[in-house]
Amino acid sequence: MANITKSPWIIHYDGSSCNGCDIEVLACLTPLYDIERFGIINTGNPKHADIFLITGGINYQNVDIVKNTYEQMVDPKVVVAVGICATSGGVFRECYNIMGGVNEVIPVDVYVPGCAVRPEAIIDGVVQALGILEEKRAQLEKEQGGAKK
Amino acid sequence: MINPFIGAILFVILAPLLGGLVAGIDRKVTAHMQGRVGPPVLQPFYDILKLFEKESVVVRPEINFYIFCYLVFLVITGAIFYAGEDILLVIFALTLAHVFLVIAAFASSSPYAHVGAERELLMMMAVEPMLILAAAGMYMTTGSFFVSDIIDHQSMGGGLLVLSIPLLFIGIVYILTIKLRKSPFDISTSHHAHQELVKGLTTEFAGPTLGMYEIAHLYETVFLLGFVWLFFAGAPLLGIVVVAVVYFLEILIDNTNTRAKWQFALRSAWLVALVTGIINLGALVVL
């Protein structure tokens, strides 16, 4: 029972990214990288998604959106911080409006550094996230099984 | 004709498997058309099994009930059809199933789902006249609304149905694009990675609820392809070839067209129904 690793659906959110990493995320969908080979679909809907890809740091305007999107996602779910800004704030770290990396507001499972991050690295990060996703699913099943008893 | 129960039971058991394979081949062909490798053919099964591994989260618990009704009535629709019963009853059961889907979307109080549900209602309005006219054409040709009689009439030397109602067949192929939720008519919700109104009327369905919706769509696909096959029921193998060609054309249209506005979808579907219906039924009456 590991169907979740065969069909991970992604939601991509652009924080205060410079768009460099976003273009690389979208490059993963193109014929050259074609992440649909792994059953990955880029959904626009948090309720359908299993993996939350965030690019760019978190600022005071998008913090609520990131939290809300994360909360709307259905368990089991994982968060992948894509690019150095999402990982730690990057070059914008000291800016007055930047709170820092994604882990300042929601728990992050996989960090993919790079500026801009390469599509291969994104795919690698997502594949690592799949392992964590499977662990979370097993954990959830255990908890639910325990609750029923 | 074989025992009607066998047809119905075979449909209930085999339709999700067949529908899943059709959907998988669809995604593979779509990917190749776009120069990609594409997912495995079994991907739709992985997707649905995954959805049942997810936590069940619904805005209101009754949404699960409505979606379950949607699934059940689609199964009934196909079961009546493949049992060889009354085709009008089939069309009404299909409508009832979609009414439950619309209610489920309305119950979620999400603006995206609401707009999706309203568009689904419009698409039901667009499709209905053509289905009824097709049923009327079948009756005028074969003298019966029963699917089994329509098949018998063709195999007992009545000639292929498509030869007497060719325009209605074209009309049915036209509305098939709406029913299969393919571009340019994937207005209320869409397949693959396409996004419209977030995800249209399925926006608020998550986990097992979405899984039920997906299974229902597999049943619907197999039922619709059966409806297309009915026009060629006198030559079953030719019918299967035609169904495959029609589905391939749907994929081609899906990949070469952008999404239309709902006004165009509604008007064009009614225009096609009106033109094909009046000419074809008129010809049947006069000749």
Q: Distance, in angstroms, between A97 CA and closest chain B CA?
A: 29
Give dist(CA B81, CA B121) in Å, integer.
23
- Chain B residues whose CB is inside 8 A of the A38 CB are 39
Closest partner CB to B206 (pick from A34, A38, A47): A47
CATH number at residue A34: 3.40.50.12280
- Residue B29 contacts A where some CB pair is shorter than 8 Å: no
Q: Which residue of A has its CA nearest to B203?
A: A45
Q: Do residue B53 and residue A43 have CB atoms under 8 angstroms apart?
A: no
- Residue B195 contacts A where some CB pair is shorter than 8 Å: yes
Give percent of chain B with pLDDT exceeding 70: 97
Q: Rounded to the nearest 10 degrees, how much is the dihedral formed by the CA atoms of A40, A41, A46, A51?
A: 20
DSSP B272-286: HHHHHHHHHHHHHHH
Q: Which domain holds residue A143?
A: 7-148
Q: What is the mean pLDDT of residues A85-106?
A: 88
Q: Do residue A48 and residue B199 have CB atoms under 8 angstroms apart?
A: yes
Q: Which two tokens stand for residue B242?
A: 């035609």
Q: Which amino acid is at A9?
A: W
Q: Which residue of A has its CA nearest to B205?
A: A47
CB A58 within 8 A of CB A98: yes
Q: Distance, in angstroms, between B258 CA and closest chain A CA?
A: 18
Give dist(CA B266, CA A124) in Å, integer.
45
Beta strands A98-100 and A58-59: pairing type?
A: antiparallel
User: For tokens 């069909």, what's the residue?
Assistant: A7
Q: Distance, in angstroms, between A92 CA and closest chain B CA?
A: 30
- Residue B32 contacts A where some CB pair is shorter than 8 Å: no
Number of structural domains found in chain A: 1
Phi, psi of A16 (to 5 degrees): -95, 55
A79 located within any domain: yes
Q: Which two tokens stand for residue A138?
A: 């097993």
Q: Which two tokens stand for residue B167?
A: 């325009």
Q: Do residue B36 and residue A42 have CB atoms under 8 angstroms apart?
A: no
- Residue B129 contacts A where some CB pair is shorter than 8 Å: no
CB B214 within 8 A of CB B49: no
DSSP state of B156: I
Q: Do residue B39 and residue A47 have CB atoms under 8 angstroms apart?
A: no
A130-141 tens-digit pLDDT: 889 888 888 888
DSSP reduced 3-state for A50: coil
- Residue B27 contacts A where some CB pair is shorter than 8 Å: yes
Q: Which residue of B has its CA nearest to A5?
A: B50
Q: Which residue of A has its CA nearest to B211?
A: A48
- Which H/E stretch holds residue A106? none
Residue scoring higher pLDDT (A95 or A146): A95
Q: Distance, in angstroms, between B203 CA and closest chain A CA?
A: 7
Q: Do residue B206 and residue A7 have CB atoms under 8 angstroms apart?
A: no
Query: Other CB atoms closer than 10 Å to residue A38's CB: what's the count?
Result: 18
- Residue B118 contacts A where some CB pair is shorter than 8 Å: no
Closest partner CB to B199 (pick from A45, A50, A137): A45
Closest partner CB to A74 (pick from B36, B47, B55): B55
A76 located within any domain: yes
User: pLDDT-derived band of residue A149, with 50, 70 and 90 as boundaries?
Assistant: very low
B219-272 tens-digit pLDDT: 999 999 999 998 888 888 888 999 999 999 999 998 888 888 888 989 999 999
User: For tokens 């062909």, what's the residue?
Assistant: B29
Give dist(CA B217, CA B118) in Å, integer.
19
> ipTM score of the complex?
0.84
- Residue B31 contacts A where some CB pair is shorter than 8 Å: yes
- Which H/E stretch holds residue B73? helix B62-82
CB A13 within 8 A of CB A86: no
**Residue B197: which of B118, B140, B271 has the closest Cα?**
B118
A24-62 tens-digit pLDDT: 988 888 888 888 888 888 888 888 888 999 998 898 888
Strand order through the sheet with A41-43: A41-43, A9-14, A51-55, A78-82, A110-112
Read off the pTM. Answer: 0.89
What's the burial of B38, exposed, middle or buried (CB within 10 Å: 0-12/13-18/19+)?
A: buried
DSSP B100-118: HHHHHHHTT--HHHHHHHH
Distance of CA B31 to the CA centre of its chain: 22
Q: Do residue A48 and residue B39 have CB atoms under 8 angstroms apart?
A: no
**Residue A65: which of A10, A25, A106 has the closest Cα?**
A106
A2 located within any domain: no
DSSP reduced 3-state for A115: coil
Q: Do residue A36 and residue B207 have CB atoms under 8 angstroms apart?
A: no
What's the burial of B271, exposed, middle or buried (CB within 10 Å: 0-12/13-18/19+)?
A: exposed
Q: What is the mean pLDDT of each run of 10 residues along chain B (287 residues)?
A: 76 90 92 89 90 84 90 92 89 93 89 88 90 90 86 80 86 90 79 70 85 91 91 86 93 87 90 90 84
pLDDT of residue A36: 86
Phi, psi of A63 (to 5 degrees): -60, -40
